[in-house]
Amino acid sequence: MENGIRGYHPYVVFFYYICTGFLVMYFKHPLFLATALIILICVNISHDRGKSLRKWMIPLMVMSLFFMVLNPFLVSRGTNILFYFRGKQVTLEATMYGVVMAIALVSVIVMFVSFNILLNGNKFLYIFSKVLPRTAFLLMLAIRFVPLLKSRFDEIRAVQRVRGTTMTVGTLRQRARNGMYMIQVLLTWSLEEAIQTADSMKARGYGIGKKTSYIPYRMEKRDWGWLATLLVLFSVCIWGGMLGYGKIVIYPELGTLHLYVLDWILFVCMTIILAFPLIVEGRERLRWKY
């Protein structure tokens, strides 16, 4: 059993991501979005000290800059004109819209990075297998093949390199032909080996009757507790959002950024939802310290 957030039932974790993904795209208020982004980054750091997020750093920055800069220059909707660029108006609204979109997009990607860490392969498949059991099984077989094919291809490349068949030298035509040869060897060989896999499945009774599935995860009290909490808070957020709180009017004219009491309530709700992994991890860490 894993610790912290990883120990929670995949359904709960999956529901957390549904809420997060929805809310990040639902609320448009810059304060809400900025807070969401910061929390999500912290969530990522709590998983693996931000190791996987760091790989995304540069593309994320480039992308958000792209949005923030391009949107005001390409879109000239809006009322408050900041200045003119080559005879076109650059408006406050379009700038704001670019910023809001950029933060929302970056948040979604940061969320997926975290999703990838928490609900990796098998947990994800587990969630899927409830809905689409056959597809999930097929997917599992396919995933199993990836490392197999890779190691086989490496072996073929080594052998063929010494034989003078490579994809690194020669004319484009030669390289393509050599590549095809190697793929051909890979396929024939893999098919041959896959017969054994099929035998092994048959020997263990695949396809003789209705399959049950081993359930490695159990919904426990704390899982239900968090699921209920998330659900309540999420409903509050949706309801408030429908009344127009937590959002801003951008076009045609930028509305007020002022926050009312209900806005603050929604803000707290959203923060708690998003910080669910942080709360869990933090509580665990505290328990170890004291």
Partner 1 sequence: MEILAVDNISFQYPDMDEYVLDHFSMHVSEGDFVVVCGPSGCGKTTLLRLLKHELAPVGKQSGTITYAGKNVLDYDERTLIEDIGFVFQDPENQIVMDEVMQEIVFGMENLGYSNFEMRKRVAEMVHFFGMEDLLDKKPSELSGGQKQMLNLLSVLLLKPKVLLLDEPTSQLDPVAAKDLIVMLERLNKEMGMTIIIVEHRLEELFAIADQVVMMEKGAITYKGTSREVIESVYTNDDKQFIPYIPSVARLYLSEEKKPIQTGIPLTVKESKAWLASLDSKPKETHEQPIESILEHTKPLLSVKKAYFQYDRYAPLILKNLSLDIHPGEFFALVGGNGSGKTTLLKLCIGMIKAQRGSAKFAGKDIHKLKGKELYERMAYLPQNPQTYFVQDTIEKEMRSVMEQNDIQDGEQEMTNMLALFGIRHLRHRHPYDCSGGELQRAALACMLLAQPDILFVDEPTKGLDPIAKENFANVLKDLHEKGLTIVMVTHDIEFAAKHVERCAMLFDGEVTVDGTPDHLFKGNYFYTTAINRATRLSNRQEVLTLEEAFDQW
Among 131, 169, 172, 286, binds partner 1 (CB under 8 A): 169
Nearer to partner 1 by Cβ, of 196 and 256: the residue is 196
For residue 183, state whether it binds partner 1 (rule: CB under 8 A): no
Contact pick of 58, 83, 86, 192 for partner 1 (by CB under 8 A) = 192
For the CA atoms of 276, 37, 114, 272, what is the dihedral angle to 10 degrees?
A: 10
Q: Which stretch binds partner 1 (CB under 8 A): 19-27, 76-84, 93-101, 156-164?
A: 156-164
Question: CA nearest 151: which of 189, 111, 207?
Answer: 189
Among 83, 87, 164, 258, binds partner 1 (CB under 8 A): 164
- Distance of closest approach, residue 189 Cβ to partner 1, in angstroms: 6
Query: Taking CB under 8 A as the rule, does residue 52 contact partner 1?
Result: no
175 binds partner 1 (CB under 8 A): no
Dihedral sign, CA of 67, 70, 76, 82?
positive
**Cβ closest to partner 1, residue 116 vs residue 200:** 200
Q: Does 173 bind partner 1 (CB under 8 A)?
A: no
Q: Which is nearer to partner 1, 74 or 201 (CB)?
A: 201
Binding residue for partner 1, selected from 48, 155, 220, 253, defined by CB under 8 A: 155
134 is an interface residue for partner 1 by CB under 8 A: no
Report how far residue 247's alpha carbon sits from residue 257's, in angstroms, rounded to the nearest whole number: 9
Nearest residue to 33 (alpha-carbon basis) of 103, 102, 99? 103
Which of 213, 224, 244, 283 touches partner 1 (CB under 8 A)?
213
174 near partner 1, judged by CB under 8 A: no
The residue within the footprint of partner 1, chosen from 58, 83, 173, 214 (CB under 8 A), is: 214
172 binds partner 1 (CB under 8 A): no
Q: Which residues bind partner 1 (CB under 8 A)?
A: 121-122, 140-141, 143-144, 147-148, 151-152, 154-166, 168-169, 181, 184-185, 188-189, 192-194, 196-197, 199-216
